[in-house]
A and B are shown apart, each in its own frame.
Chain A
Amino acid sequence: MYSLLYKNLQRKIIIITLVVSFAPLIILAVTMYYQFAKTCKDKTEEQILYRAIAQAESVDMFLKERIAILSSIADTHGFNEMVDEDNLSHIFNVINSRAGAFVDLGVIDTVGVHRAYVGPYNLKGLNYYDQPWFAEVMSKGVFLSHVYMGFRKLPHFIIAVRRNENRKSWILRATIDPEVLEGIVQQAQIGRTGDAYLVNKDGIYQTNPRFKGLILSQSDLDTSLFGGRVTVVELENNQGRKLLYAGSWLKSNKWLLIINQEPAEQMASLFAVRNVQITIVVFGFLVIIMTTIFTTHLAVSRLQESEATMQELNAQLVQSDKMAAIGKMAAGVAHEINNPLNVILQKTGWMEDLLEEEDIKESKNFEEFQTSVQKIEEHVERARKVVHNMLGFARKMEPHLEDVDINDTINQTVTILENYARTNNIEIQTDLSGKLPIIASDQAKLQQVFLNLLTNAIDAIGKDGLIEIKSRRLDSRICISIKDDGPGIPAEKQKNVFDPFFTTKEVGQGTGLGLSVSYNIIEKMGGTIRLKSQAGKGTTFTVEVPVVAPERK
């Protein structure tokens, strides 16, 4: 019952402690993880953003260079000069060797006719007048096309610049190798999953993406998500994986440079941190669990110990309270009983007196009367003894200190009972320590205690047995044990043996006061009487009295 109570207590303490210590640990770990993840993501976004800006600038620079080259050639050469195909071929070779990326070069006159052409295709003589870009270049002076298939059925794009010469306009037109552009864009493809490509406003690939999709096919990107100059968004691709997209519009505002990346790849360091965190938390859990169980166990067992001590003290307290209460009651009862006994004794005395008179002596029942009166007196005497024993119990012990030799006291007591023991064939063995000090105590009271214990031992054995008496000094106490090999006291009766009027002897044989009087005497001396007994194995009473040094006289 008690152990169950303690188990519950222990469990409660452990649970509360664990919850209280785990909660902050978990909160801390989770918060830290998310903070770190956020930082990590921000950093990744920032990186991808700057890469998009830088790459867009490179592409812009490349396009601006091509436009500048074409513009300078157009501005520095006359129409007639340019229409000469040898001359054009020479210029084409020069710019291709210096700058590169030009596929072909052509001159278109004011009505849209391709007047001169250098390049791998035979485009000379084609009329571009109806092409939308022709009108645009005529009005704006510069034109940059989307990538398209055109007459040659290969993805390409063109740059066209207008030259006004003597009120007539002509156009210098060049095709740019999209692979060169692609090369520049693809420099931004990073890691295992990173991609970089160009799309136009309608989301059509202008360069080949690294993974799914081909140039000029429709991408599934919604370009309206990318506003301003540069934007980072997180989107799910068709495989359900989250990707970070950074889009940077080129200065011409025609094309959008997209760089995408799986954030996970950038976050490898985050996962490393997470693993370290998990390890620390798990380790912390283990340490906390172990410490909690250990300390709780320690605390609860201490508690249990002190509870046991408390109970023992309580039992002692209850016992002495009981003694005190019974003492008071005994004093009252003694008075109440002694008064009627007194009257009975006087009345019988009076009857005795009257029986002495002549005429009654002649009565035939005279002897019967006399014996009856004597018996009454005898039993009044018996009752008186019981009451006096009770009073001995009730009486406060006067501090009557004298020099007492415990061994002497034991020997005297044994002498008193030796004959009685011998007639019952009981041997009394004494094993007395020669090192006992003389103490200040009450010899008569001690003798009363020893007498009680020895008489009990003899009565317990009945016939044929052995009583061993030992005396020893234990630090500041003297310990006297009286052991008999009688039938022992059953466990359920052991707690009652010191109670007044508790007796196992036959009615009329014992008052049941011997042990409680002894208990009282020894307790008042500051000592203890303890009992160790097992049914069938005899009984040992141990008396411990403190060593009190006698006063020097």
Chain B
Amino acid sequence: MHYFNVLIVDDEEDFLETIIKRLNKRQVDASGARSGEEALELLKEKTFDVVILDIKMPGGMDGIEALREIKKIQPLAEVILLTGHASVETSIEGMKLGAFDYLLKPIKLDDLLNKIAQAIEKKDTHDNKVRSAQIKKLLRYW
């Protein structure tokens, strides 16, 4: 697996801090954001392969809104939703807006790593397609 980076968006600071430490320990380049707004700022500066987004955050921007903005800034970033309650409707809405999948809290690190791996795999396939399409396009105009 090649290098990839992950952005985790959650208002729960203890969770954020710990999960980043644990991912880093496993050689995953992970950064954190405490709110939707902060995440968007980061995304404007830097490309992320995977964004892990808590759907329900108190105050400010909610998860679904943040998802919409993320997809505007970085359409190719894969988003995994985290939800504190099994609101299937919200999750389905999120998937329709282009999220990769969702996980129920409390999450096990192994599950999260699996999902990240799947997301990277999908992204790679997609990237490859994009790349070959670009090559074809270049070839045609050549």
Contacts and interface: CB of A to CB of B under 8 A. Distances in A.
A350 B25 CA distance: 10
Contacts, number: 66
A184 interface: no
A346 B19 contact: yes
A326 to B, nearest CB: 14
A350 B22 CA distance: 6
Interface in B1-19: 12, 14-15, 18-19
30 contacts: A332-B85, A334-B84, A334-B86, A335-B56, A335-B85, A338-B85, A338-B104, A338-B105, A338-B106, A339-B15, A339-B105, A345-B107, A346-B14, A346-B15, A346-B18, A346-B19, A346-B109, A347-B14, A347-B18, A350-B21, A353-B22, A353-B25, A388-B104, A391-B85, A391-B86, A392-B86, A394-B85, A395-B86, A396-B88, A398-B88
Contacts of A341: 105-106
Interface in B35-90: 56, 84-89
Nearest to B54: A339
Contact of A388 (B19, B86, B108): B86
Interface of B: 12, 14-15, 18-19, 21-22, 25, 56, 84-89, 104-109
A345 B85 contact: no
A345 B86 contact: no
Contacts of A392: 86
Given A349-B109, A353-B25, A380-B106, A343 B15 contact: yes
A445 to B, nearest CB: 14
Nearest to A341: B106
A344 interface: yes
Given A335-B84, A345-B108, 12 more contacts: A331-B85, A335-B56, A339-B12, A339-B15, A339-B84, A341-B105, A345-B106, A346-B18, A346-B19, A350-B21, A394-B85, A395-B88
A342 B88 contact: no
Given A334-B84, A380-B106, A391-B85, A342 B15 contact: yes
A384 interface: yes
Nearest to A349: B109
Contact of A342 (B12, B86, B87): B12
A235 B68 CA distance: 116
B70 to A, nearest CB: 21
Interface in A349-366: 349-350, 353
Contacts of A394: 85-86
Contacts of B21: 350
A336 B108 CA distance: 18
B119 to A, nearest CB: 20
Contacts of B56: 335
Contacts of B109: 346, 349
Contacts of A338: 84-85, 104-106
A332 B108 CA distance: 22
A343 B109 CA distance: 12
Contacts of A342: 12, 15, 84, 105-107
Residue among B86, B89, B104, B107 with the highest chain A CB neighbour number at 10 A: B86
A479 to B, nearest CB: 31
Contact of A346 (B22, B84, B88, B89): B22
Interface in A183-213: none
Nearest to B86: A391
A343 B85 contact: no
Interface in A312-352: 331-332, 334-336, 338-339, 341-347, 349-350
Nearest to A356: B25
B9 to A, nearest CB: 14
A1 B106 CA distance: 53
A331 B85 CA distance: 6
Nearest to A383: B106
Given A339-B12, A388-B86, A395-B86, A344 B22 contact: no
Interface in A376-429: 380, 384, 388, 391-392, 394-396, 398
B56 to A, nearest CB: 6
A392 to B, nearest CB: 8
Contacts of B107: 342, 345
> A-B pairs with the 10 shortest C-beta distances?
A335-B84, A342-B106, A346-B18, A341-B106, A338-B105, A335-B85, A342-B105, A338-B84, A345-B106, A391-B86
Nearest to B82: A342
Nearest to B26: A353
Interface in A266-284: none
Contacts of B18: 343, 346-347, 349-350
Nearest to A330: B85
